[in-house]
Structure 1
Amino acid sequence: MNPLQTLLQQTLLSTQHVSKAAIIRKRDGGIRARTPNFKITQEEFARIQAAFDSPTFGREHPLSLGGRNYQCIRVDDRAIYAKDGSTGIIIAMAKNSYVLSTYDVGMYPAVCAEATEKLAEYLREKGK
C-alpha cells in the first residue's frame, strides 16, 4: 500500500470523525492518496488554490466538492474551514500538498480539523 495511503488511514480515518480524505499535490492537483470514491475535479482544485491565494475570494465564493457547496468560515495561509449545514470540509496546506478531509452529520468538526492540521504539519516537517 502507498505509504501516504497508510498515513491517511492511520491519522484521519481512524478518528471516526473524517468521512473522506485526500492528499493532493499543490502544483497540479494530482491525487497522492485518497479514500475510495473521493474525486476532486480540476475546477474544484482551482477554487481551493484561489481561496488560499486570496482569502477574500475564499470567503466570497463557496467551495464546491462532490456536488456540494461549502461556505468558507475560516481562510488563512495554512487552512480553510468550510461547511454546508452539519457537514464540512477542512483543507490544510503542507509544503507541496493539500490535505483535505470531510466530516458528516454526527461527526465532530473539531476532531476532523485537528487531525487534518496535524497531518499537514507532519508532512511540512518531512518536506512534503
Structure 2
Amino acid sequence: MSWQAYVDENLIGTGKVSKAAIFGLDGGLWAVTPGFSIEAAELDKLIKAFDDANDVQEKGLYLEGQKYYYLRSSHNSVYARLGTTGVTCVKTNQAVLVGYYDESKQKAGECTMVVEALGDYLRSQGY
C-alpha cells in the first residue's frame, strides 16, 4: 500500500478525520490530503514535542499558521485544539501522522482512535 493510500483510505476514508498527513521524522512529506500544508519549522516543533512538550504547553502548537492549544501528550502522541477543531499527532518509529477533526463533522475521540490505530499498525510493521 502506498503512503497516500494510508491517508486516503485509513484516515480520511473512515470519515473520522477531516484532513491528514504523514511525514518522516526527518521532515519529509510522505502523503497528504489536498490543501494541507505545514511549514518546516512547525513540523520541527511538533517532532520535538513528542520528547519534550514544555514548549507547546507554554506557547501552543502551531500548524498551518494557526495556534492550537495543547491538551495533552505522551511519548508517542500530542493532542491540541483550536475552537471546534483539533488535531491528533502520533509518532511511529519512522514517521509522524497528523489527523485533524472538525467537530461539526467528526468527534475528537473517534479521530484519535483512528490515527492512533494506524500509528500502532505502522509501528508493528517497523515503521
Regarding TM over 0.5, the answer is yes
Q: 1:84 aligned to 54, 58, 82, which one?
A: 82
Residue type of the alignment partner of 1:122: Y
Report the equivalent of 2:112.
113
Report the equivalent of 1:122.
121
Superposed, which structure 2 residues align to 1:50-65 within 5 Å?
50-65=48-63
CA distance in 1, matches of 2:48, 2:59: 10
CA distance in 1, matches of 2:123, 2:91: 8
Report the equivalent of 2:28.
30
TM-score, normalised relative to structure 1: 0.92
Say whether residues 1:40 and 2:59 are aligned partners.
no
Residue type of the alignment partner of 1:48: L
TM-score, normalised relative to structure 2: 0.93
Report the number of matched residues.
126
CA distance in 2, matches of 1:4, 1:49: 19
CA distance in 1, matches of 2:88, 2:32: 14
Task: Give the unaligned 5+ runs of structure 1.
Answer: none
Deviates more, 1:11-20 or 1:109-118: 11-20
Report the equivalent of 1:94.
92
CA distance in 1, matches of 2:3, 2:121: 12
1:58 deviates by 2.6
CA distance in 2, matches of 1:58, 1:65: 11
Residue type of the alignment partner of 1:125: S
The percentage of aligned residue pairs carrying the same residue is: 33
CA distance in 2, matches of 1:49, 1:93: 8
Task: Give the unaligned 5+ runs of structure 2.
Answer: none
1:57 deviates by 2.2
CA distance in 2, matches of 1:56, 1:65: 17
1:66 deviates by 1.4
